[in-house]
Amino acid sequence: MLGVSTKIEELLTSVSDPEIPVLSIMDMGIVRKVELVDNVYRIDITPTYSGCPAMDTIGDDIVSAFEKEDLKAKINLVLAPAWTTGWITERGRKALEDYGIAAPRTAEVDKAALLGEANTIKCTNCGSLNTKMVSRFGSTACKALFQCVDCHEPFDYFKCLK
């Protein structure tokens, strides 16, 4: 995607989101550009939410992952274009679901679900669609809290951001 060597891509894939450790930053879609200038990898990353407290840690993690391979990386935080959940890869969506976080749906489905109009968010425990929203804001800014009516499992839903 970024036009970088397999090694660099692997290095970046090895860095995960500290709040969702199963999700690599590559699958999250927050690495936007990699450029090699004077032996330094300039890496553009973009935040999921403005106040995402994980960005500094992610930046540090990338730099230290590169340092371990004797490579230099410099992090540049970019705001535009703004991140959307559409940038989460298929592999990322699967990792989320396996981890117990329902992956973001399309904007229309999402709005209906968050307004409590339709049962469209699948329980990550038993797969039932008979779920309800408990709170629009979950354990982090990017998630809402749901509960399964059938198996009673509470779970996070990754909100759609288009």
Which residues bind to other proteins, rule: CB under 8 A? 47, 49-53, 79-83, 114, 134-141, 145, 159, 161-162
Give 8 or 142: the residue with its C-beta nearer to other proteins: 142
Query: Closest CB to other proteins among 36 and 82?
Result: 82
Question: Based on CB atoms, which residue is closest to other proteins, 63 or 161?
Answer: 161
103 and 158 in contact (C-beta within 8 Å)? yes
CB of 152 to other proteins, least distance (A): 17
The least CB distance from residue 140 to other proteins, in Å, is 8
Least distance in Å: CB of 135 to other proteins? 4
Q: How far is the CB of 137 from other proteins (least distance, A)?
A: 4
Closest CB to other proteins among residues 14, 100: 100
Residue 151, both tokens: 């198996």
HSE-CB for 34 with a 13 A CA cutoff: 22
Between 72 and 136, name the residue whose CB sits nearer to other proteins.
136
Residue type, 155: F
CA dist 41 → 1, 45, 71, 88 (Å) = 16, 12, 8, 23
Least distance in angstroms from the C-beta of 95 to other proteins: 23
Distances (CA, A) of 82 to 27, 61, 78, 111: 16, 22, 9, 19
Spatial CA neighbour of 120 closest among 160, 152, 91, 90: 160
